[in-house]
Amino acid sequence: MKMSLSILIQKRKDCLVILNIMREATGIEPVLWVGNIIGFGSYHYKYASGHEADACMIGFSPRKQNLALYVLSGFNNQQALLKKLGKHKSGVACLYINKLDDVHLPTLRKIIEESFKHTKKRTA
């Protein structure tokens, strides 16, 4: 299924808004990670199994079906903010949004800010 030009233009505009919000929230310039993830900051993790790697502190990926934001880090008021956000889906660490018009932008900004602060504190 091909996307129309207007959908592609809107997705690009949405990505630029998210990019600027994340840049403002972190004070960090974005870096392209594996899998087309635009990430801000990094940390090293290691599981009990011995698996270890580096990951971005927050980030997003423009996908064909939605925008995937890597911002759900378990901060205190996360569930309350998600209830106020608007139309979205969420996974363990991901927030999926079809387009920014579907969500309350100040709430999304707060989620991004809180997630970054929480991840930064947790990985310090």
41-70 pLDDT, tens digit each = 999 988 899 999 999 999 999 998 899 999
Confidence of residue 1 (pLDDT cuts 50, 70, 90): low
Name residues whose C-beta falls within 8 Å of residue 107's C-beta, 6 or more positions apart in sequence: 81, 84, 85, 86
Give the CATH number, domain containing residue 71: 3.90.1150
* Cα 82 to Cα 9, 17, 35, 91, 106, distances in angstroms: 26, 19, 25, 12, 12
Name residues whose C-beta falls within 8 Å of residue 50's C-beta, 6 or more positions apart in sequence: none
Q: What is the mean pLDDT of residues 72-92?
A: 95
DSSP state of 59: E
Confidence of residue 82 (pLDDT cuts 50, 70, 90): very high
Res 7 pLDDT > 70: yes
Question: For the chain, what is the domain count?
Answer: 1
**Structural domain that includes position 98:** 5-123
